[in-house]
Amino acid sequence: MSVSESARDLARPVAVEPEWYAAPPTGCQSGDIAHVILTEAQINTRIRELGAAITRDYWQAAQSGPLLAIITLRGAVAFAADLVRAIDLPVELDFISASSYGSSATTSGSVQILKDLDSDLNQRHALIIEDIIDTGLTLSKLITMLDARQPTSMRVCALLDKNKPCPVRNEPGRLAYTGFSIPDAFVVGYGLDYNQRYRNLPYIGVLKPEIYSPEQQR
């Protein structure tokens, strides 16, 4: 399976520009948001592009069976719900939960699998759908664990990337699809949380630093 030139362009991350930043729309949680970095419309447009790239790349592979979308709980649920509907191929869904953050806004560095897949990965084409790559530790751990189950292929589609050095980035072709590259700030909304809040915001915004307790600040 090869990625065509035009699909590769669609798969490349779009860099979020500071000129895009906007005040949050009025709402009960908007007072906690410093600024919006991605609107609902920008997210939707990009997801249609990612869906088109995935459809094109997996078209042939899908002749031998549905693509298995591995959705990481809980942050990727909103993204995955929209992304799978932008993929014009047979797709099966499965869920996995790994934890590396606890309730703070900084990574703990340790990763724990809380819920495993129900599906057999052996000889399947699988696509891990991830919300955000920060340190990449969670994803790296997942890939090591899931690779041992011998899927035919296993690539990653991440909505956001903070562009830090991480092992997954060094594996050719693994991080195949990325929505946006974003600055190194703590963001919430569209599935992403702080202490389980803000997941239902329709946009992605930077959380005001005063929302963190002092010891949790970066």
Write down the least CB distance from residue 146 to ligand IMP, Å. 15
Residue span binding ligand IMP (CB under 6 A) among the ranges 39-47, 127-135, 144-152, 209-217: 127-135
Q: Which is nearer to ligand IMP, 89 or 113 (CB)?
A: 113
Alpha carbons 198 and 191: distance in angstroms, whole number: 8
Write down the least CB distance from residue 162 to ligand IMP, Å. 7
**Segment 25-30 long-range contacts (CB within 8 Å, at least 24 positions apart):** 25/203, 27/201, 29/197, 29/198, 29/201
Write down the least CB distance from residue 149 to ligand IMP, Å. 21
Which residue in 82, 134, 161, 193 is the catalytic one? 134
69, 91, 96, 133: residue in contact with ligand IMP (rule CB under 6 A): 133
Q: List the interface residues with ligand IMP, window 16-55 (CB under 6 A).
A: none
Judge contact between 155 and 183, C-beta under 8 A.
no
135, 153, 181, 216: residue in contact with ligand IMP (rule CB under 6 A): 135
Residue 134 a catalytic site member = yes
| 212 part of the interface to ligand IMP, by CB under 6 A | no
Q: Which is nearer to ligand IMP, 75 or 151 (CB)?
A: 75
Judge contact between 124 and 64, C-beta under 8 A.
no
Q: Residues with catalytic annotation?
A: 134
- Chain residues binding ligand IMP by CB under 6 A are 75, 100-101, 107, 131-139, 186-188, 192
